[in-house]
Amino acid sequence: MKVNEVERVAVIGAGLMGHGIAMEFALAGCDVGLHDVAEERVQAGLDRVQASLRMMAAAGLISHDQVEPARNRIRGGTQLDAVVSGSDVVIECAVESLPVKQQIFRELDRLCPPHTILASNTSSLMPSQLAAATGRPEMVLVAHHFNPPHLLPAVEVVRHEHTSDEAVTTICELLKRAGKRPVVLREAPGFIAVRLQAALLREAASIVSHGIASPQDVDTVIKNGFGRRLAVAGPFEVSDLAGWDIIVTAFGRLWPELERSTETNPLLQQKIETGDLGQKTGRGFYDWTTAAGEAKKQHITEVLIRLAQDPYQEIAST
């Protein structure tokens, strides 16, 4: 199947990620089915779509004339067979549980036409594990979006050894049509983003647990230092500009000092044992009220909107 033949997309799961992904494909001109297990969840997802479309229009990211047509392209439902009927692509956004996702893929394999590409938004499970639940392994892959999907353009397209080139090409071209920036990689635990985030968190926790700096100071350095640069240049670009002789000499002295443990840092484990889980319990490395948590989330969204509005986004992507 070629990308110009893709007309209908179904999204399984109407939550935080699912509603945003459905919205992106609707804005790209696709008819979209949005499924969840309960009517109230479906309606909540559709309400979020409406609110997100209005927010994007108010921010100038889309025109006001696009709001209602995009919303009208999305139909919600609790009957899986009706939602996925005739779909060319299905994106699964269910809970991060292998048994749950495998059961969904079995059902999708049974209900969808033979040409349908089955993709998962999983951030941790291997596409080969999901393909094993179907009779069409060549049509199964991962299309991992980032939260919030309607503001962050990158998508990790993860193939396994039996994924067809045509399926990968079709998904990538469809994502580009929706304004996304797909990257293709072979399956590996954590893909790209989660591996890098895990490495950063491991070293950050090590710095704190060794008394080198406080959690607040670590966050300050990242937010107000190299974290800002990461929005416009990745580590290979920065190092190319600096010169690998300089980078390797400087970092060569540092490699032996970095955290290499394969176990969870005791500092993080202690947080779990004491019930200091973060915003959900009112305390983590910071103290949180409900209002403070919502304010932080809103601030993150506002900054992401400003990044999406700024012309330098195009410079950052070249």
H helix runs in 28-148, sequence order: 39-58, 67-72, 80-84, 98-111, 127-131
Cα 170 to Cα 187, 212, 237, distances in angstroms: 18, 49, 29
Q: How far is CA 70 from the centre of its chain?
A: 21
Residue 267 pLDDT greater than 60, yes or no:
yes
* DSSP bridge pairs for 31: 8
- The whole-angstrom separation of Cα 164 and Cα 176 is 19
Which pLDDT value is given to residue 4? 86
pLDDT digits (tens, 9 = 90+) for 197-212: 999 999 999 999 999 9
Which pLDDT value is given to residue 137? 98
Residue 316 pLDDT greater than 70, yes or no:
no
Helix, strand or coil for residue 228? helix
pLDDT digits (tens, 9 = 90+) for 169-181: 999 999 999 999 9
Give the other-Cβ count within 10 Å of 220's Cβ. Answer: 13
Closest CA to 104 of 17, 13, 21, 171: 13
Q: Are strands 140-145 and 74-77 parallel, antiparallel or unpaired?
A: unpaired
Mean pLDDT (the chain, rounded) = 95
Helix, strand or coil for residue 250? helix
Q: E strand or H helix at 125, and its extent?
A: none
- The whole-angstrom separation of Cα 48 and Cα 68 is 13
Is residue 158 within 8 Å of 144, Cβ to Cβ?
Answer: yes
Helix, strand or coil for residue 289? coil
Task: Measure the N-to-C terminal CA separation of the chain; round to a whole number of Å.
Answer: 29
**List of domains in the chain:** 3-186 (3.40.50.720), 193-287 (1.10.1040.10)
pLDDT digits (tens, 9 = 90+) for 105-162: 999 999 999 999 999 999 999 999 999 999 999 999 999 999 999 999 999 999 999 9
pLDDT digits (tens, 9 = 90+) for 21-75: 999 999 999 999 999 999 999 999 999 999 999 999 999 999 999 999 999 999 9
What single DSSP character describes residue 287? Answer: B
Contacts 24+ apart (CB under 8 A), 212-215: 215/285, 215/286
